[in-house]
Amino acid sequence: MNESVSGKLYIDLGGALAALGLLFAVYQLRRPRWDVVLQINPWLRRNLFWAPALVGLAAIFIAVLIDKFQPCGLPIWLPTWLKDTLLYQAIAYFGFISSPFLLLRIAGNPCNLFTKQNAVRFYKILVQNIAMGDNEKIDASLTVLLANFHNICKFASQERDSEIRQYARAILDVILSDNAIVKILTTRNLIALHHVFRLAEKFELKQSYSSIGIPALVRNLYVDNNSFLYRQYRADGLALTINIYEAIFSSEALLENFNLFYYLKSGSFSA
């Protein structure tokens, strides 16, 4: 006679499917920044959070089968501890709880996305989201760009020609010179603007690395009356916290490596 193991089902198959549906609802309501981060991540990593939930669903399915066949007896060769439905329910609870936390861990971390394996996808996803013209998508893309700007500048300054260097320099030109990005950096996000100039100086970026991007930021500081440069001159609140004028003109690297005022010579000073 087969040994019977008692165990109560605290969560059934319907409850497991409801938990999986709730996770799907959370995924659908994800923030724009999470969406950009998930798009940039490789397919396996951005879908990894589903794995614990699917394991939990499978565990509940096994628990239901054990509970159903318990009166008829289970195979005698099956170890006793594998006949206890509480084991599978514990696995299911852990899976359903850990899945959203894994989603937060993956989607909430915009750092270290610009890598040799991911450079092409990083560039294309940012361009695609910024081109949509949606303010939330643009803000999210800028957040991801700034979180990876250290790596972008590092690879852009490499002497050896490589694919990642090409895309790093393309980002410094195409994305950094976009009107929406320039507007945000020069009029709305002072810390980010200073961060860009500081890293450009640190890695000694040159005109050949960013012939449009860095000069475009300086240009808008001068042509936009709402830029941090003019607000600093007007002693306007938070614009006084960082001296942008000093950040540019006290940097030998920026002044020597970039033709920051090319637009003055071409007569295109006006916005």
Per-residue pLDDT tens, the chain, 271 aa: give them.
Answer: 444 454 555 566 666 666 667 676 666 667 889 999 999 999 999 899 889 888 988 888 888 777 776 655 555 556 665 667 788 888 888 888 888 888 889 999 999 999 999 999 999 999 999 999 899 999 999 999 999 999 999 999 987 889 999 999 999 999 999 999 999 999 999 999 999 999 999 999 988 888 889 989 988 998 899 999 888 888 877 777 888 888 888 888 888 888 776 655 554 544 4
> What's the Cα-to-Cα distance from 242 to each of 24, 83, 217, 238, 248, rounded to whole Å?
43, 66, 16, 8, 11
Rounded to whole angstroms, what are the CA distances from 112 to 38, 40, 118, 217, 264?
Answer: 13, 11, 10, 24, 38
CB neighbour class for 159 (10 Å; exposed up to 12, middle 13-18, buried from 19): exposed
In sign, the C-alpha dihedral spanning 14, 19, 25, 27 is negative
Q: How far is CA 231 from the centre of its chain?
A: 31
pTM, entire model = 0.82
d(CA 189, CA 244): 12
Other C-beta atoms closer than 10 Å to the C-beta of 269 total 12
- Cβ(182)–Cβ(234) under 8 Å? no
CA distances to 123, 136, 149, 181, 234 from 118, rounded to whole Å, are: 9, 23, 14, 22, 43
For residues 124 and 39, give the distance between their C-alpha atoms in angstroms, rounded to a whole number: 10
Closest CA to 254 of 158, 153, 143: 153
In this structure, what DSSP letter does residue 242 have? S
